[in-house]
Structure 1
């Protein structure tokens, strides 16, 4: 059974890495991701299960990993079994509270992705949701200092979300579904 878990974890990690390369970087969803992909400074951690306490403990361990390893710029905590979007939003809310309680506010920023991501007030089929859709539920820890530095260098960081929405509208729902499915292999 443990061997199967290791194989599954590797598949989840590979799918998420494909998503970063083939969607996030290829379509410039995050203009800062290409540099980190090329540097090999993205860490992928698969966490099995759905129990919020265990998932939050894993997130905290990732913060500690980032504390101890300056060569890791960003960490993607992949939660493949957290399939229900509402449950994911609960975990995300608790994760943000945990980062604040543990003194990580201003140190790490949390970005969120889920295969069924839906912005508040948006229809589930709205193409703009794909800017935050990933093959699996993912909590993305980003060094706040790096974000501040890179956004200061970007000519118009406020335009990134608008640009991404325009891109998803141009690509269309069918293409976006195919892109996401292709990442899973």
Structure 2
């Protein structure tokens, strides 16, 4: 399999953000930071986990040391290192440890997205998994303060957002999801 170039990875990621995350309102607070260019997207070329962890260290430091008005959130994308979702999902335990090592618990949280994302106890082909499916394995570094502010401004809170997302995707269906993400 040929790895796409950075321009393609960035374009695919932006397409997913614009069409799915913002277009379907899967994250009701994504639009405001995206249109203000406060979303940093970084393509990793790390050849092994240690190098990827070094990049994660760098991105965590950069995020906490940069004003939110400049960078509110970061997507760390790696197109090849985590082909297997379950390996990537297990790796999230290491990511949590890194956040703790940086003493950023309660400051930064990390969400994960993967092309084969699967919620525990949910069949692989269930459309609800699409809420966390991205074109490439991605770590989303979020400022807790921004998340809390956004959730507080959404009338239903975090649980309602999840329920609304699943309902939206069930209505759209798998074919609609594929059509939505296809490029002209």
TM-score (norm 1): 0.90
SS at structure 2 position matched to 1:115: coil
Q: Tell me the residue number matched to 1:42.
A: 39
Residue 68 of structure 1 deviates from its aligned partner by 2.5
C-alpha offsets along residues 15-45 of structure 1, whole Å, 9 cap, x if unaligned? 1011111110011000000101111100000
Unpaired segments ≥5 residues, structure 2: none
Q: How does 1:4-15 map to 2 (within 5 A)?
A: 8-15=5-12
SS at structure 2 position matched to 1:16: helix
How many residues get paired? 179
Q: Tell me the residue number matched to 1:105.
A: 105
- 41-50 vs 115-124, which moves further: 41-50
- 64-73 vs 140-149, which moves further: 64-73
Residue 50 of structure 1 deviates from its aligned partner by 5.3
Q: Tell me the residue number matched to 2:21.
A: 24
Residue 179 of structure 1 deviates from its aligned partner by 2.9
C-alpha offsets along residues 59-105 of structure 1, whole Å, 9 cap, x if unaligned? 11111111222110000000110211122112222111110122111
Q: Tell me the residue number matched to 1:139.
A: 139
When residues 112 and 131 of structure 1 are mapped into structure 2, their CA distance, relative to the original with a 3 A threshold, is same
Residue 173 of structure 1 deviates from its aligned partner by 1.0
Q: Tell me the residue number matched to 1:77.
A: 76
SS at structure 2 position matched to 1:48: coil
1:152 and 1:137 map into 2 onto residues whose CA distance is 28
Residue 176 (1) aligns with residue 177 (2): yes
Give the number of the structure whose residues are more often helix, by fraction: 1
TM-score (norm 2): 0.91
Residue 174 of structure 1 deviates from its aligned partner by 1.5
| Cα RMSD (Å) | 1.8
Residue 49 of structure 1 deviates from its aligned partner by 3.8
